[in-house]
Structure 1
């Protein structure tokens, strides 16, 4: 197998476009980054972009956009797992540091096994994820309320909601980062609110508008308002809105440790595609002598 590194996202995307579009649902993260960052000028640390090929066919694609996690994507699981050692060898020879990984589970596990062995590290599972897609909405039980776009007036509470959600999902932000995130999502009209009797009770966001598909994330209902169907109503209404915008499908990730969210999304029409894993690599802890 042969590892090829690319020095720009446009060059990488030219190589992997068909590979990504043939599996756009599974490729949402990598495809989204390719489209989002294609014109970005990198002043400091450059992105890592590579493919592993066998007989001219892509077995594995890799992308790291600083400071985010390394993304891996394969089309065939066995081929992807078989390509991992070649990618790890290349990264070791280039003395490239990898601290985080987000990948389909089998390939991610294979990479972690190789990477932790070579560098004497240990893995920490940040989250076990499942990717779902939806092509038509199954409407949940009718309830009062409506979906609307977030406005500047909502920025009095949205940063706190974002902060609380990231605390629950182990993707920690500072309050300042949550304020910036909420402001950006509100300005680009990606953030939506479900309100009942004029009171905001849940939120969800459009994200990664790609070619045929678009994703939903940032689904959150404050603790005191849960169990009332607000998240189901919000995600169903947002998914319907996005399909009406012309997208062929919507996708989202769930935490497998949260059976409630997995159930409600399936109830409104989301079907499982594959499992992902999000990992961090840490130095091995050494026990102190007694």
Structure 2
């Protein structure tokens, strides 16, 4: 097998376009990065972009856009697993340091084993995820509410909701970061509110509009408003809205440790695609003598 590294996202995308588009649901994050950063000029640390091929066939693709996790993607699990040691060997030769990965589960586990063994590190599971895709919405029981775009007026509470949500998912944002994030999402018309009797009760966001598919994230209902079907109604209405915009399917990721969210998404038509993991690599802890 041969590892090829690319100097730009444009060059990388030319190579992997067919590989990504034939599995657009699984490739959503990597494809989205290619589409949105194709012409970006990078200052400082450059993206890491590579493929592992055998006889001209892409076995594994890899993308790291600083400061985010290394993304790995295969089309066939056996190909990806077989290609991982070649990628790890290349990274070691190039003295390239990887702190985090996000990957389909089987390939990610093999990478983690190879990487931690080579560098005497330990892995920490950040997120155990399931990717879902929806082609058609199954509408939940009717609620007396409506979906609407978030507005500047909603910035009075949206940053607090975002901070609370990231605390629950262990991907913590500061209030300042959440305020900036909310402003950008509102300005781009990507953030939506479900309201009942004029009161905001849940939120969800559009993200990664790609070729045929689009994703939903930032789904959150405050704790005191849960159990009333607001998240189901919000996600169902937003999914329906996005399909009517012309997308063929919607995707979203769920935390497998949260059976409630996995159930409600399936109830409105989301079907499992594959499992992902997000891992972080830390130095091994050494036991101090008693």
SS in 2 for 1:269: coil
1:122-201 to 2 correspondences below 5 Å: 122-201=122-201
Partners of 1:36 and 1:285 lie apart in 2 by: 39
Counterparts of 2:14 and 2:183, CA distance in 1: 33
* Superposition RMSD in Å: 0.4
Partner residue in 2 for 1:264 = 264
Alpha-carbon distance between aligned partners in 2 of 1:39 and 1:151, rounded to the nearest angstrom: 30
Counterpart in the other structure of 2:206:
206
Match of 2:31 in 1: 31
Partner of 1:121: 121
Deviation digits for residues 214-234 of structure 1 (CA, Å, limit 9, x no counterpart): 000000000000000000000
Residues 117-138 of structure 1: CA deviation (Å, up to 9, x unaligned): 0001000000100000000000
Moved more, 29-38 or 83-92: 29-38
* Distance in 2 between residues matched to 1:285 and 1:269, nearest whole Å: 44
The Cα shift of 1:241 comes to: 0.2
Distance 1:51 1:172 in 2: 32
d(CA) in 1 for partners of 2:97, 2:222: 37
With normalisation by structure 1, the TM-score equals 1.00
Distance 1:255 1:81 in 2: 24
Q: Which residue of 2 aligns with 1:60?
A: 60
Q: Secondary structure at the match of 2:68?
A: coil
Q: How does 1:239-254 map to 2 (within 5 A)?
A: 239-254=239-254
Per-residue deviation, 1:172: 1.2
The C-alpha deviation readout for 1:78-134, integer Å capped at 9, x for no partner, is: 010000000000000000010011000000000000000000100000010000000
Unaligned runs of 5+ in 1: none
Mapping for residues 15-94 of structure 1, pairs under 5 Å: 15-94=15-94
Structure-2 separation of matches of 1:172 and 1:143: 32
For 2:111 and 2:9, the matched residues in 1 are separated by 23
Q: CA deviation at 1:39?
A: 1.3
Which residue does the alignment assign to 1:277?
277
SS in structure 2 of the partner of residue 127 of structure 1:
strand
CA positional deviation for 1:173? 1.0
| SS in structure 2 of the partner of residue 80 of structure 1 | helix
Partner of 1:221: 221
Number of aligned residues: 290
String of CA shifts for 1:175-212, please: whole Å, max 9, x gaps. 11111111100000000000000000000000000000
Which whole-Å CA distance do the structure 2 matches of 1:121 and 1:164 have between them?
31
Inter-partner Cα distance in structure 2 for 1:181 and 1:27: 24
What is the CA-CA distance between 1:36 and the residue it aligns to? Answer: 1.2
Secondary structure at 1:193 match in 2: strand
Counterpart-to-counterpart distance in 2, 1:263 and 1:144: 22
Matched, 1:234 2:209: no
**Map of 1:288 onto structure 2:** 288
